[in-house]
Amino acid sequence: MPALFDFESARKELSKKPLPRHIAVIMDGNGRWAKERGLPRVAGHHEGVKSVKAIVEGCGELGVEVLTLYAFSHENWNRPTWEVSALMKLLMRTIHNEINNLDANGVRVRTIGQIDRLPPATLKQVKHAIEVTRRNTGLVLCLALSYGGRIEILEAARRALHEKMTPNRLDEATFSSLLDTAGLPDPDLVIRTSGEHRISNFLLWQIAYSEIYVTPTYWPDFRKKELVDAILDYQTRERRFGLVSEQVKKKKSK
């Protein structure tokens, strides 16, 4: 029988090294999780909500500043109508059920993506969560909804053109301020569940230097232990940002 996971001990171990400020997660594998158990796809989405709750709680307890969850992509609108409808209702119900808990724990909800495409009732619940938690100073829970990285970059370029920015004015910092994630640090760690080795149009600008962690674990099985494993792996990485190891060590010693 495997030993029980001790989150408190794991937290002490993680505190010995720098934590990622911003963790971004591509939540994948709900459908396959359900199929392997002979269940309808929606059962995987429902189980995945439990993982969302566990990871939000875990990141808050660890002191992670930002958690971005790829909840619904721009391309997901092309899924069967019944599945899209079920996902929208699940999102609405989950936010309704969890908003008081999120607020009590100081979590601030924000979104990226074309949220105006959401059904009216779902959009109303999302905006309510943003408003209720807007003054909170704890974990920022950023929900990527109707989100696509290429569209985000295109929209940022359109904003630059609309504001008649000159080429000399448009540097990386200014362009970043035009993106949906303006004001947030770039992700330090990107986690992808279910073993797929692709980015899937997620935060294409922001993850230029993110560490990427791929796990075969399906999202419904990804809980606090798996989060800790991902961060422990992250803490073994040397983040060079284009430098060589000697330069990194010299920079840290200053």
Find the catalytic residue in 6, 28, 116, 229. Answer: 28
User: Could you give the count of Cα atoms lying within 13 Å of 50 in the half-sphere of its Cβ?
Assistant: 10
Of 6, 76, 100, 136, catalytic: 76
Q: What is the DSSP string of 201-241?
A: S-STTTTTT-EEEE-SS-GGG--HHHHHHHHHHHTT----T
Where would I find the beta strands (DSSP E) of 41-154?
Answer: 66-73, 108-112, 140-147
Q: Which residues pair with 72 in a beta bridge?
A: 145
DSSP letter at 181 equals: T
d(CA 59, CA 219): 16
Distance CA 44, CA 28 (A): 10
Cα separation, 221 vs 171, whole angstroms: 41
DSSP 4: P
Q: Identify whether 76 is a catalytic site residue.
A: yes
Q: Which two tokens stand for residue 111?
A: 């979104």
What's the rounded Cα separation, in Å, for the pair 192 and 213?
6
Active site residue 28: yes
Q: Where do runs of H (alpha helix) occur along 105-223?
A: 120-133, 149-162, 172-177
Count CB atoms within 10 A of the CB of residue 97. 11
The residues, ordered by sequence, that sit 6+ positions from 127 with a Cβ below 8 Å of its Cβ are none
Which active-site residues does the annotation give? 28, 76
